[in-house]
C-alpha cells in the first residue's frame, strides 16, 4: 500500500489510485462527480473541536498530531473501515485545506505508516 496526499480541488489523475476523502465536512463547491472520491472516511477525520482548535496554525502542529492520534487510538472501528478501503495499491488521501503540508491527511498518513 502506498499512500499519497493531495488537495481535493486539484485535478484527479489515474495515478491517484483509490481517492479517499479524509475531512469531516464535504468540500465546498465540489460535486461528488467532480471529486471522484471512492470512500469518505468521515469518521477517521479529526473531531470538529480539534479542527477548530488547530485552525492550521503551524505552531500547534505537534500538539494537533498528538491529540489527533489519541482520537484515532480511541476509534478503532473507523481505522478498521478505512483500512478495508486502502487495498494494496496506491491510495490518495484528499483534503480541502489550503495548507498542503501540515493538515489532517498528512497526519493520518503518518499515523498509518508508523
Q: What is the pLDDT of residues 79-111, one digit of tens each?
A: 999 999 998 899 999 999 999 999 999 999 999
In the chain, where the domains are located: 2-113
pLDDT digits 0-9 by tens, 57-86: 999 999 999 999 999 999 999 999 999 999
Which cell goes with 7? 488537495
The CA radius of gyration of the chain, in Å to the nearest whole number, is 13
pLDDT digits 0-9 by tens, 15-62: 999 999 999 999 999 999 999 999 999 999 999 999 999 999 999 999
Instruction: Give the residue ranges of DSSP H helices in 29-103.
Output: 32-35, 48-54, 61-73, 76-86
Dihedral over alpha carbons 12, 13, 17, 20 (to 10 degrees): -10
Q: Give residue 1's pLDDT band: very low, low, confident or very high (50, 70, 90).
A: confident
Amino acid at each position: 500500500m502506498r499512500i499519497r496526499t493531495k488537495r481535493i480541488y486539484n485535478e484527479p489523475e489515474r495515478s491517484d489510485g483509490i481517492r479517499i476523502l479524509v475531512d469531516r465536512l464535504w468540500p465546498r463547491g465540489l460535486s461528488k462527480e467532480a471529486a471522484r472520491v471512492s470512500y469518505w472516511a468521515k469518521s477517521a477525520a479529526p473531531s470538529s473541536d480539534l479542527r477548530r482548535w488547530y485552525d492550521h496554525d503551524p505552531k500547534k502542529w505537534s500538539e494537533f498530531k498528538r491529540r489527533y492520534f489519541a482520537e484515532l487510538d480511541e476509534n478503532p472501528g473507523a481505522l478498521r473501515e478505512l483500512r478495508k478501503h486502502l487495498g494494496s495499491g496506491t491510495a490518495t488521501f484528499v483534503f480541502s485545506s489550503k495548507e498542503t503540508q501540515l493538515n489532517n491527511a498528512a497526519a493520518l498518513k503518518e499515523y498509518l505508516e508508523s
